[in-house]
Amino acid sequence: MKNTIQIQALTLDNFAPFGEVISCQGHDYFHINHAQTERYHALAMTEILGEAQAGISIFRNIQSTQIPFQVAMLERHPQGSQAFIPMQGQAFLVVVAPGLNTDEPDISQLQAFISDGSQGVNYRAGTWHHPLLTLEAPSDFAVIDRIGSGPNCDVYEFNSPIQIVSAQI
Protein backbone atom coordinates (compact mmCIF):
# COMPACT_ATOMS: atom_id res chain seq x y z
CA MET A 1 0.00 0.00 0.00
CA LYS A 2 1.16 3.54 -0.80
CA ASN A 3 2.11 5.75 2.13
CA THR A 4 1.68 8.96 0.14
CA ILE A 5 -0.73 9.99 -2.58
CA GLN A 6 -0.08 12.91 -4.95
CA ILE A 7 -2.93 15.22 -5.79
CA GLN A 8 -3.82 15.21 -9.49
CA ALA A 9 -5.93 17.54 -11.63
CA LEU A 10 -9.62 16.67 -11.75
CA THR A 11 -10.69 15.67 -15.28
CA LEU A 12 -13.71 13.95 -16.80
CA ASP A 13 -11.61 10.90 -17.69
CA ASN A 14 -9.61 10.34 -14.51
CA PHE A 15 -12.64 10.80 -12.23
CA ALA A 16 -15.00 8.62 -14.35
CA PRO A 17 -14.60 5.46 -12.20
CA PHE A 18 -16.02 7.36 -9.19
CA GLY A 19 -18.71 9.59 -10.70
CA GLU A 20 -19.07 12.68 -12.83
CA VAL A 21 -17.26 16.02 -12.92
CA ILE A 22 -19.82 18.83 -12.92
CA SER A 23 -18.32 21.44 -15.24
CA CYS A 24 -18.96 23.10 -18.58
CA GLN A 25 -15.49 22.16 -19.80
CA GLY A 26 -15.51 19.13 -22.08
CA HIS A 27 -19.30 19.02 -22.45
CA ASP A 28 -21.58 20.00 -25.30
CA TYR A 29 -24.36 22.54 -24.89
CA PHE A 30 -27.39 23.85 -26.69
CA HIS A 31 -28.88 27.33 -26.71
CA ILE A 32 -32.05 28.20 -24.80
CA ASN A 33 -33.86 31.44 -23.84
CA HIS A 34 -33.66 33.01 -27.31
CA ALA A 35 -29.98 31.98 -27.61
CA GLN A 36 -29.01 34.03 -24.54
CA THR A 37 -28.06 30.96 -22.50
CA GLU A 38 -25.91 27.88 -23.11
CA ARG A 39 -27.44 24.84 -21.43
CA TYR A 40 -24.96 22.13 -20.41
CA HIS A 41 -27.57 19.45 -19.98
CA ALA A 42 -27.54 16.49 -17.55
CA LEU A 43 -23.89 16.76 -16.49
CA ALA A 44 -24.54 14.31 -13.65
CA MET A 45 -27.40 11.99 -12.82
CA THR A 46 -28.70 11.78 -9.26
CA GLU A 47 -29.06 8.22 -7.92
CA ILE A 48 -31.75 7.73 -5.29
CA LEU A 49 -32.55 4.24 -3.96
CA GLY A 50 -35.43 3.27 -1.69
CA GLU A 51 -38.12 5.52 -0.24
CA ALA A 52 -36.41 8.89 -0.61
CA GLN A 53 -36.09 12.09 -2.62
CA ALA A 54 -33.28 14.21 -3.96
CA GLY A 55 -32.59 17.20 -1.73
CA ILE A 56 -30.49 20.33 -2.17
CA SER A 57 -28.55 21.51 0.87
CA ILE A 58 -25.73 23.94 1.55
CA PHE A 59 -22.65 22.63 3.36
CA ARG A 60 -20.48 25.37 4.87
CA ASN A 61 -17.00 24.08 5.58
CA ILE A 62 -15.62 26.12 8.48
CA GLN A 63 -12.16 24.57 8.64
CA SER A 64 -9.62 24.61 5.82
CA THR A 65 -7.29 21.75 4.90
CA GLN A 66 -3.54 22.33 4.80
CA ILE A 67 -1.46 20.29 2.35
CA PRO A 68 0.18 17.90 3.12
CA PHE A 69 -2.42 16.21 5.29
CA GLN A 70 -3.27 12.71 6.46
CA VAL A 71 -6.33 10.71 5.55
CA ALA A 72 -7.45 8.11 8.07
CA MET A 73 -11.01 7.32 6.94
CA LEU A 74 -13.43 7.21 4.03
CA GLU A 75 -17.21 7.14 3.87
CA ARG A 76 -19.78 6.05 1.30
CA HIS A 77 -23.49 6.54 0.75
CA PRO A 78 -24.87 3.22 -0.59
CA GLN A 79 -28.42 4.49 -1.13
CA GLY A 80 -27.72 7.52 -3.30
CA SER A 81 -25.26 9.71 -5.13
CA GLN A 82 -23.86 12.87 -3.56
CA ALA A 83 -22.93 15.98 -5.56
CA PHE A 84 -20.76 18.87 -4.32
CA ILE A 85 -20.78 22.15 -6.26
CA PRO A 86 -18.61 25.04 -5.02
CA MET A 87 -20.66 28.22 -4.68
CA GLN A 88 -17.78 30.71 -4.48
CA GLY A 89 -15.46 29.39 -7.21
CA GLN A 90 -13.11 27.90 -4.65
CA ALA A 91 -10.81 24.96 -5.32
CA PHE A 92 -11.35 21.87 -3.18
CA LEU A 93 -9.85 18.42 -2.75
CA VAL A 94 -11.47 15.10 -3.65
CA VAL A 95 -10.14 11.84 -2.15
CA VAL A 96 -11.67 8.58 -3.42
CA ALA A 97 -11.03 4.85 -3.62
CA PRO A 98 -12.75 1.99 -5.45
CA GLY A 99 -14.39 -0.76 -3.46
CA LEU A 100 -12.23 -3.72 -2.44
CA ASN A 101 -15.27 -5.81 -1.57
CA THR A 102 -18.82 -5.13 -0.39
CA ASP A 103 -17.69 -3.75 2.98
CA GLU A 104 -14.45 -1.84 2.50
CA PRO A 105 -12.54 0.42 0.11
CA ASP A 106 -9.36 -0.59 -1.69
CA ILE A 107 -7.12 1.97 -0.01
CA SER A 108 -4.15 0.72 -2.05
CA GLN A 109 -5.96 2.43 -4.98
CA LEU A 110 -6.65 5.70 -3.12
CA GLN A 111 -6.60 8.77 -5.39
CA ALA A 112 -6.66 12.52 -4.72
CA PHE A 113 -7.87 15.20 -7.11
CA ILE A 114 -8.10 18.98 -6.98
CA SER A 115 -11.03 20.88 -8.44
CA ASP A 116 -10.13 24.15 -10.14
CA GLY A 117 -13.10 25.86 -8.48
CA SER A 118 -15.28 25.79 -11.59
CA GLN A 119 -15.82 22.03 -11.20
CA GLY A 120 -18.08 20.11 -8.88
CA VAL A 121 -18.25 16.35 -8.43
CA ASN A 122 -21.04 13.81 -8.21
CA TYR A 123 -20.03 10.66 -6.32
CA ARG A 124 -21.92 7.62 -7.54
CA ALA A 125 -23.94 5.69 -4.97
CA GLY A 126 -21.54 3.53 -2.97
CA THR A 127 -18.36 5.44 -3.93
CA TRP A 128 -15.83 5.58 -1.09
CA HIS A 129 -14.76 9.19 -0.53
CA HIS A 130 -13.38 11.47 2.13
CA PRO A 131 -15.73 14.11 3.57
CA LEU A 132 -15.43 17.59 2.08
CA LEU A 133 -11.88 19.03 2.09
CA THR A 134 -11.59 22.75 1.37
CA LEU A 135 -8.50 24.90 1.01
CA GLU A 136 -10.33 28.04 2.20
CA ALA A 137 -12.73 28.60 5.06
CA PRO A 138 -15.51 29.33 5.20
CA SER A 139 -16.51 27.66 1.91
CA ASP A 140 -20.08 27.04 0.80
CA PHE A 141 -21.13 24.12 -1.40
CA ALA A 142 -24.48 23.24 -2.91
CA VAL A 143 -24.99 19.55 -2.13
CA ILE A 144 -27.50 17.35 -3.91
CA ASP A 145 -28.08 14.01 -2.23
CA ARG A 146 -30.58 11.50 -0.92
CA ILE A 147 -32.99 12.64 1.77
CA GLY A 148 -34.84 9.71 3.28
CA SER A 149 -35.11 7.26 6.11
CA GLY A 150 -32.73 4.42 6.88
CA PRO A 151 -28.95 4.29 7.11
CA ASN A 152 -27.03 5.80 4.20
CA CYS A 153 -23.52 6.43 5.48
CA ASP A 154 -20.87 3.75 5.98
CA VAL A 155 -17.51 4.75 7.49
CA TYR A 156 -14.22 2.88 7.08
CA GLU A 157 -11.31 3.74 9.42
CA PHE A 158 -7.76 3.03 8.16
CA ASN A 159 -5.29 1.02 10.27
CA SER A 160 -2.70 3.73 9.58
CA PRO A 161 -3.14 7.13 7.91
CA ILE A 162 -2.03 7.94 4.38
CA GLN A 163 -0.28 11.20 3.55
CA ILE A 164 -1.76 13.35 0.76
CA VAL A 165 0.86 15.62 -0.83
CA SER A 166 0.85 18.34 -3.43
CA ALA A 167 1.97 17.63 -6.98
CA GLN A 168 3.07 19.82 -9.84
CA ILE A 169 -0.28 20.34 -11.56
Which pTM was predicted?
Answer: 0.92
User: Which contiguous run of DSSP H or E holds residue 94?
Assistant: strand 92-97
Find all residues with CB under 8 Å of 35, minimum gap 6, and list them: none
Q: Is residue 169 very low, low, confident or very high in pLDDT (cuts 50, 70, 90)? A: very low
Q: Which domains does the chain have, with CATH numbers?
A: 4-165 (2.60.120.480)
Model pLDDT for residues 54-112, shown as the tens digit of each residue: 999 999 999 999 999 999 999 999 999 999 999 999 999 999 999 999 999 999 999 99
